[in-house]
Amino acid sequence: MTRLLVQLSDPHIKVPGSLAYGRVDTAGFLRRAVDSVRRLRQAPEAVVITGDLTDFGRLDEYAHLRELLEPLRCPVYLMPGNHDDRHALRQAFADHAYLQEESRGDGSGFVQYAVNLEGLRLVTVDTVVPKASHGAVDKERLRHFDALLSEDRRTPTIVAMHHPPFKTFIGHMDDVGLLEGADALATVIARHPQVERVICGHLHRSIQARWANTIAMTAPSTAHQVCLDLAPDAASAFVMEPPGFLIHAWSDTGLVVTHQAAIGVFDGPYPFFDNGSLIE
C-alpha cells in the first residue's frame, strides 16, 4: 500500500486583508494549496509545514493560519522558520502536544519532535535563530535530534527542517542559510542510514542535492517563489511562478519517492489516445 506525507512550506500568512510585500495574497494561495491537497486521489497520512508559517510571528497571524488549515482532514505538523515566533506558535496551537515537548517556561524552547506514521517516521530539527534570518543548529539541539533518531534505527525516516543544510548557489539565500552546525548535523545524519530524505523550506523553490549520504531537498512555497538566478551577485527578488508542494510517498517495502505537485485546478486528465490508438 502506498502512503503519502504532504509537505507544504513557507505560506507566510499575515493578518486577514494584508498582502505580503504589498502584492502577494498569501492566505488566498494557502486556501488553494489546501484545496489541492484535499483533491489528491490518495488521501495523505499527514501534512508537515516546513516553516515560515507566518510573516511576523504574531498571534493573530497564527489564528488566521489555523483557520486556513482547518479543512485538512489529516494530522498537520508544524515547525517554525525564521519568520516565526516559537512562543506565539505554541500559544495559538496549544492543542498540538508535540509542540510543547521541549517548551521552556517562556515557550521559547526549540521545536523538535518525532512522529510515527504507518511505516515511516518524521523527525524535525529546529534551525531558528530568534530575530535572525539565517539558521543554526547548536549542540543541545543536535544531542536531542540524535536521540530522536536513535529511538528507531530501522524504520525509514524523513528529517524535516526549515533552513537547508546545503548550498543552493542562489547567493542571497545561501547568505541566510544554515550558517552554523551544518557539518555537525551531517555527521549525525550520516550515522543513521534509515534517513531517506532531509526536507526543507526557506528557499521557495524545489531544489535537490546529495548530502550526508542521503537526499536533501527544498520545497516550493505555497505562494511566491524566490527568483531563479544563480549569478553570485543576483538581486534578492521573488517571482509569481506557479506555487506547489511536495508529496513524499512510501510503500511497505520501505521505498520513499518524492513528487512535486502544482497547486490549482487544471484541464484533464485525458487518456493517451489519438484516433483510437494508444500513444505513450
What is the reported pLDDT for 105? 64
Whether the predicted pLDDT of 104 surpasses 80: no
Three state DSSP letters for the chain: CCEEEEEECCCCECCCCCCECCCECHHHHHHHHHHHHHCCCCCCCEEEEECCCECCCCHHHHHHHHHHHCCCCCCEEEECCCCCCHHHHHHHCCCCHHHHCCCCCCCCCCCCCEEEECCEEEEECCCECCCCCCEECCHHHHHHHHHHHHCCCCCCEEEECCCCCCCCCCHHHHCCCEEECHHHHHHHHHCCCCEEEEEECCCCCCEEEEECCEEEEECCCCCCEECCCCCCCCCCCEECCCCEEEEEEECCCCCEEEEEEECCCCCCCCCCEECCEECC
What is the reported pLDDT for 277? 66
Whether the predicted pLDDT of 192 surpasses 90: yes
Whether the predicted pLDDT of 280 surpasses 70: no
Whether the predicted pLDDT of 266 surpasses 70: yes
CATH code for residues 3-267: 3.60.21.10
* pLDDT, tens only, 59-93: 999 999 999 999 999 999 999 999 999 999 999 99
Residue extents of the structural domains in the chain: 3-267
Whether the predicted pLDDT of 257 surpasses 70: yes
